Structure 1
Amino acid sequence: MNKTIAITLAGLLAGAALAQSKSITVYTGRSKGLVDPIVQQFEQDTGIKVNVRYATDSAIIAALQEEGKASPADVLWANSSGSLGIANEAGLLTTLSKTLVSKFPEVYAPSNNTWIPLSVRFRVMAYNTNKVKPESFPKSVMDLPKHKEFKGRIGWTPTYASFQDFVGAMIALKGEAATREWLLGMKALEPKSYAASNVAMMEGIRNNEIDVAITNHYYIQRFIKSGAPIGTYYFQQGDVGGLALVTGAGILKTSKKRADALKFLNYLVAPKAQQFFTAEVFEYPVTNKIILSSSLLPFAEAAKLSPKIDQEKMGPRLEQAQKLLREVGLL
């Protein structure tokens, strides 16, 4: 073989091997359907392989703490800012560039610069449009336990990260005593608990198992798209029932591939990924110039309904919420 050709071929093979060896590992509390499509697109666009581990936020943080310095994970992609706060307090996340974090609205980004927001969801109440009328619903989620007509016909997800962040925010805004009273009042309504997912809960509404449910707005939108008779009810402005919840991601201190991990984070807030979160998942973007689905409430209106909550402090609140939920027998 010609020496020049041989050297060129060797160089190409070495380059191909290097490209194939480029990979990162992502631990995520988000479901596969919300993660896998954009991960595949990232791999196609960058040539970087992404190994994904799926579990609940709490299970992932426990695994990271158990693995310690031996953890293979590079990125934590969490379902809630509370989980990211706990990860930061546990010393798991590295500090990101202030320039990167400052790109996002202060209300959704942490000042400690250890993670970035990726999308925004809002708490709402879902209801079967064929069975109940929203005119009779309470203006505040705090008054929901008074509605005895929902006994045995309401759904919730106490084991879900977003629900726990919601309870944590309720503790911050209303106090632990009022939150405990609310949880016990809700238990008296004999709600159906959907441990599997909010998707199963929306199926419950569609299949007439329940009439109403406390959830995140985007689950409803995904079912409306399929023609399900599910409506969205927004509580009054400033009510904890309309809480804005943030998903986000950070790079782990143990990562040995920080440059590629940072490429992944930047990809998730670039237009292609942000448009995916909005058009396919029906979440709200954290960057500008993204086209919203016409079925979504305009972002400014949804944001105005949410109470003001410091996302950076959601970690301690989440821990308080989990403790209270255990005490009242829901975890």
Structure 2
Amino acid sequence: MKRWFSVLLTGILAASAFSYAAEELVVYSGRSEVLVEPLVERFEAQTGIRVKVRYGRDAELLATLAEEGARSPADLFWANTAGALGAAVNEGLLAPLPEELLALPEAFTPSSGRWVPLTARFRVLAYNPEVLSAEALPESVMDLPKRTELAGRIGWTPNYSSFQDFITAMRHLYGPEATLKWLEGMKALRPKAYASNSAMLEDLVAGEIDVALTNHYYILRLKHGVEEGEFEGPEEEEEEEKREEEGAGEPGLPLATHYFASGDVGNLALVTGIGVLKTAKHEAAALEFIRFLLSEEAQAYAAEEVGEYPVVASVSLPGFMLPQDKALELSPAFDFEQLRDLEETLDLLREADLL
């Protein structure tokens, strides 16, 4: 009977849709396949190390890691958000990284030393330059509620994770009372709420709104055809086919990027990163993979493919991107692991009746 049960269990495990070979480096990735697969192929060709990738949204992967515990086959957690990496640290999932790895990024290295940043995206204000001039826009996002002339003409995404990261940073930098006052001031301007940044920017181009709080790469997607870096599920393939049909972007669209003053929370960096799991079976290979992702080759590829900013020096960027040294100065000084502290932000959004 025991032998029959053992054979049955072995059959069930073998039929699993996601299986691993003992010699494979296993990566759980919240980043998109269009970004990850070419980098994995280059790494495999250079090192001979085989890599298996499991894709999912950050929250899904964290839940899987919690369920698997010490049995997890994963060696690395490559996350789309600093908040997810902070949560992994909080749950005791990630191992300390060597100082030589932590020293490679120029900015955004967390205080825990248990993950490294790989790329950065920035919060920005998108606007229609045919309607507004850059000089007419505020130097601080905190002053946006004062612009009563924009009433009914502002777009935002209160349910979107990057917007909530932005509010979390505001809460830590200015306090919950000032953050709630900002939310209520914005709400008084009757902004239009959107479920996605892409739909919001399409409305901006169509003249339905004049400004939008968004991430810089959504503007680059419409104007220059860069890909999506975040894993978004099975719909990714449909979106990719749609982009291929529509072409490689339209530089002439009435769509421009407004950066706030250097250090303003309106320019918050949305940091992607990677950490080694405490339960990793292939630690040396995992560290080698991280070194590769922080190489000039991999960092330049991420910039060219998805329009994200590298975190190491001397990386060539496409001409349509803000120079790297200027980009790295935009975001406020901030410990990005604080973005894991989301619940109080959700409470504020509920208090403002935005969720």
Q: Which TM class, normalised by the smaller chain length? A: 0.7 to 0.9
Instruction: Work out the CA distance in 2 between the residues paired with 1:231 and 1:95.
Output: 41
- Please show how residues 227-246 of structure 1 align to structure 2 within 5 Å: 227=250, 228-246=253-271
Unaligned ranges ≥5, structure 2 = 1-19, 225-248
Kindly provide the amino acid, as one letter, of the partner of residue 286 in structure 2: A
* Superposed displacement of residue 178, structure 1: 1.0
Aligned to 2:36: 35
Contact 2:120 2:311 in 1 (8 A): yes
Aligned to 1:48: 50
Query: In the alignment, is residue 153 of structure 1 matched against residue 153 of structure 2?
Result: yes
Instruction: Work out the CA distance in 2 between the residues paired with 1:190 and 1:60.
Output: 36
Kindly provide the amino acid, as one letter, of the partner of residue 85 in structure 1: G
Query: In the alignment, is residue 325 of structure 1 matched against residue 346 of structure 2?
Result: no
Query: In the alignment, is residue 163 of structure 1 matched against residue 163 of structure 2?
Result: yes
Three-state SS of the structure 2 residue aligned to 1:280 is: helix
Instruction: Work out the CA distance in 2 between the residues paired with 1:144 and 1:309.
Output: 22
Task: Supply the RMSD in Å over aligned alpha carbons.
Answer: 2.6
Instruction: Work out the CA distance in 1 between the residues paired with 2:262 and 2:309.
Output: 18
Aligned to 2:205: 206
* Superposed displacement of residue 234, structure 1: 1.2
Instruction: Work out the CA distance in 1 between the residues paired with 2:262 and 2:126.
Output: 17
Alpha carbons of 1:111 and 1:142: their partners in 2 closer, same or farther (altered >3 Å)? Answer: closer
Kindly provide the amino acid, as one letter, of the partner of residue 54 in structure 1: G
- Please show how residues 1-12 of structure 1 align to structure 2 within 5 Å: none
* Superposed displacement of residue 44, structure 1: 4.8
Instruction: Work out the CA distance in 2 between the residues paired with 1:180 and 1:194.
Output: 20
Aligned to 2:300: 275
Q: Deviations over 1:201-248 (max 9, x none)?
A: 333333434322112222222322222321010112332112233211
What number of residue pairs does the alignment pair up? 309
Instruction: Work out the CA distance in 1 between the residues paired with 2:349 and 2:33.
Output: 27
Aligned to 2:179: 179
Farther off after superposition, 202-211 or 228-237: 202-211
Instruction: Work out the CA distance in 2 between the residues paired with 1:123 and 1:164.
Output: 11
Q: TM-score, normalised by structure 1?
A: 0.82
Q: TM-score, normalised by structure 2?
A: 0.77
Kindly provide the amino acid, as one letter, of the partner of residue 130 in structure 1: E
Alpha carbons of 1:70 and 1:191: their partners in 2 closer, same or farther (altered >3 Å)? Answer: farther
Query: In the alignment, is residue 61 of structure 1 matched against residue 65 of structure 2?
Result: no
Contact 2:111 2:335 in 1 (8 A): no
Three-state SS of the structure 1 residue aligned to 2:306 is: coil
Three-state SS of the structure 2 residue aligned to 1:210 is: coil
Aligned to 2:277: 252
Aligned to 1:134: 134
Aligned to 1:89: 90
Alpha carbons of 1:319 and 1:85: their partners in 2 closer, same or farther (altered >3 Å)? Answer: farther
